[in-house]
A and B are shown apart, each in its own frame.
Chain A
Amino acid sequence: MIALTREPAFWVVLTLLIAGGVRMTQLAGHFFTAYPRATALSVLLFALLAVPFWLFVSELDFIEREPAELLALAFAWGALVATTVSIPGSAALENLVAKLGSPHLAADWGAAIAGPAVEEVAKTLGVVAVVLIARSQVNSVLDGIVYGAMVGLGFQIAEDIVFAVGAVALAGQGDQVQPVIATFLLRGFLSGIWSHTLFGALAGAGIGYLVVKRERSRPHRVGVAVLAVLGAWASHALWNSPVLVDGLGNGTLALLGVLLIKGLPPLLLILWLVRRVHDREADYYAGWLAGLGDPQLITAGELEVLGSGSRRAAARRLAGEHAGREASAAVRRLQRAQARLAVELSRADPEAAAVRAAAVRDQRAVLRRLGHPEAVAGPVTWRHRASTIATTAVAIAVLWVALSALGGA
C-alpha cells in the first residue's frame, strides 16, 4: 500500500473513491430511511451473491495472483465511482436521445444506447486507474481481465441494490421484501452471469493488452483496446436492446432461449479469451519452474497440474482420498507456493525466489510425512462425476424455478 501512495495518481483515485463513497452513502441513507427492511435484505442478498463471483474472479489468475487491496480498489471503483457517474450521465444521455430523436426512440432504445455508452466508459476507467497506480501489477492480459471483471462486479452489485429498492418504491406497498426477492431472482440469477462482470472483463482485456503487449506497435495496441471496449459496449447494448423483447413465445423454454441468444455470445467470447490468455500465462510460468529441473520443487506430473484449475482441484481431491483432509490442504499450500516461486523466478529476484523455494520444500516435507509426496491429479472418479452431474442438475432446477417464478411459465 505504501508503494501505491508514491504515485500521484493514487491520490486522485482516492479522492474519486471518497467522492463516490459519499454520494452512494447518501443514496443508501435515503433507502434505509424509506425502506429499512427491504434495503437491508437487498444489501445482504447481493453481498452474498458477490462472494462466489469474487472467489471465481480472483482465482482466475491462480499463478500470479492480484493483490487483495487492488482487487478491493477495482470493486470499490465499480460500486462507488462508476455508479455515481453513471446515474446522472445515463439519465442525461437518455434524455438527449428523446430530445434529438423522439420519446419513442428513447423508450425503445434509450437503455441500449445510454446505459452502455456511459457505464462501459466509467467502468473501463477503473482498470485504467489500477494501471496508473500499480502498473507493475498489470503484466498480462489476464490481469486486465481480472481487474475489469472486479470493477464490473462492484458496479453490478451496487446497481442491483439500487434496482431492488427502486422496485420496492415502485410497488407502493411500503417496506416489503417481495420486490427485493423478485429483483434478486431476475438480476442475480438470470442476468447475473452475463452482466457487468462479463462486460468489464472484456474491456479490461483490452486495457491489459494495451499496457502489456509492448512488442506490438502503439496503433495496434490502441486498436485492440478500442475493439475490446466496443465489444463490451456492443454486448451490453445487445442485452439492453428491445430485440426479442416479445420473446420467442410463451413459456420457460422461450424465456431461456431469449436469455441465451442475447447473453451467450459475449459469455462464450470472454470464456474463450480467458482460456487462451490463462493457458498462455500458465505455460510461461511452468517454463520457469521446469527450468529448475528439481523434483523437490516441482515434478513433471505437478507441472501438468499447476496451470489448470480443474487439474489442481483433482490433485487436491486425490490427496484427500489417499491421505486425508490434511494432505488436501497441504497440496493447496504446495500449489500456492509453487505459483509464487514461478512468479519470483520470472522477476529475477533470487532472494525472494529462495524464500518461496523454502516454502515449497516445507510443504513437500509435510506431504511426504503424510505418505502422499507428489501432488498429481488422479483419474476422474465416479463419485466426482456424480457430484458434478448433481450440481449441474440443481443449478438447472434453480434457473428453471427462477424463470417460472418470473412469468416464463
Chain B
Amino acid sequence: MARLTRRQLTNLLGALGVAATLGGLAFGLPAIDRSLPSERAISTDEPYPIGAGVTVVPPAGAVLDVTGTRPGDTEGTALFRLGPVRYAIAVRPFDGDLTAAAERLRKRIVDTTGYQVTGAQLTVSTAGGLAGLQGGYTAPGRGGRYAVFVAGGHTIEVTISGNDLDLGRTLPQIDASTRTLRQDGEPQ
C-alpha cells in the first residue's frame, strides 16, 4: 500500500477540514438549536400579536414556541404548544374570498403525504364577528383541526394537531382561544 507523502497528507487534512466545517454547519448548528429550549412562557390573559395587526389570546396553559413564531407587519406566524398539542396560526396577504381561502388550506393539507381531510366544513365565527370555516384532518398517528378566516386582505389559517386523546382534552381551550382572533380596527 502506497504511503502518503507529506504534501498529500496536508491535502487530505485540508479536505477533511472542509468536510468538518460543512458537518458543523449541517449537523452542529441544528444540534445546538435542539439543545436550547424553544418554549417561552406567555401571558394567556392578553392578546398576542401574530402579524399584520392580527392578535389572539393564547389558551390557558399554552407556551409560545419561538421556532414557529415570526411576527411581521404584513404577515406573521405564531406557534403555541399545549403539552404535545400544536396550535399554529398563520396570517398572510390574500385577495380571495373565504371559500377560496379554505380550499387553499385544505389543498395544502392533502398535498402533505399521508394527510387527509375528514368530514364536512362547518362555519365558525370569532367573538369580534369574523366569519370562518373549520374542518378536520388525519395524519399518520395524529389527528388535526383547521380553521380559516379572511379579514382585511389577509387569510388567517389555524391548524391544530396532536393525538386524539390530547386533542380531546385541549380543544375546548383552543376553540376558546380561536374565538379571540381579531384584526386591528375590528370591534372588541
Contact = CB atoms under 8 A, between A and B. Distances in A.
Interface stretch (B104-112, B128-136, B163-171, B178-186): B104-112
A171 interface: yes
Given A85-B25, A89-B30, A172-B107, A128 B70 contact: no
Interface string A99-124: 11011101110100000001001100
Interface of A is mostly: helix
Interface string B46-89: 00000100000000000010110111100010000000000000
Given A89-B25, A122-B22, A125-B22, A104 B71 contact: yes
A104 B40 CA distance: 14
Contacts of A181: none
A171 B66 CA distance: 24
A8 B15 contact: yes
B127 interface: no
A99 B36 contact: yes
A17 to B, nearest CB: 11
B22 A81 contact: yes
A13 B30 contact: no
Interface stretch (B6-14, B116-124, B137-145): B6-14
Contacts of A7: 8, 11
Contacts of B27: 88
B69 A98 contact: yes
B76 A129 contact: no
B15 A171 contact: no
A86 B18 contact: no
Interface residues of B, number: 39
Interface string B14-29: 1110110110011101
Contacts of B51: 107
A173 B16 CA distance: 45
B1 interface: no
A121 B25 contact: yes
A12 B15 contact: yes
Contacts of B25: 85-86, 89, 118, 121-122
A89 B26 contact: yes
Contacts of A174: 107, 111
A131 to B, nearest CB: 8
Contacts of B12: 8-9, 12
Contact of B18 (A103, A106, A108, A128): A128
Nearest to B27: A88
A14 to B, nearest CB: 10
Nearest to B108: A172
A12 B30 contact: no
A173 B19 contact: no
B107 A85 contact: no
B44 to A, nearest CB: 17
B152 to A, nearest CB: 18
The 10 closest A-B pairs by CB, nearest first: A172-B104, A9-B15, A12-B15, A8-B12, A92-B33, A107-B70, A92-B29, A89-B25, A103-B69, A172-B108
Interface of B: 4, 8-9, 11-12, 14-16, 18-19, 21-22, 25-27, 29-30, 32-33, 36-38, 51, 64, 66-67, 69-72, 76, 103-108, 111, 113
Given A102-B66, A103-B69, A108-B72, 20 more contacts: A8-B12, A9-B14, A9-B18, A12-B15, A13-B15, A84-B26, A88-B27, A93-B33, A95-B33, A96-B33, A98-B66, A98-B69, A99-B33, A99-B38, A99-B67, A100-B36, A106-B66, A107-B71, A170-B108, A171-B104
29 contacts: A7-B8, A7-B11, A8-B11, A8-B15, A9-B12, A9-B15, A9-B18, A12-B12, A12-B18, A13-B18, A33-B113, A88-B30, A89-B26, A92-B32, A92-B33, A95-B67, A98-B38, A99-B67, A100-B36, A102-B66, A103-B64, A106-B66, A107-B70, A107-B71, A121-B21, A125-B18, A129-B15, A132-B14, A133-B15
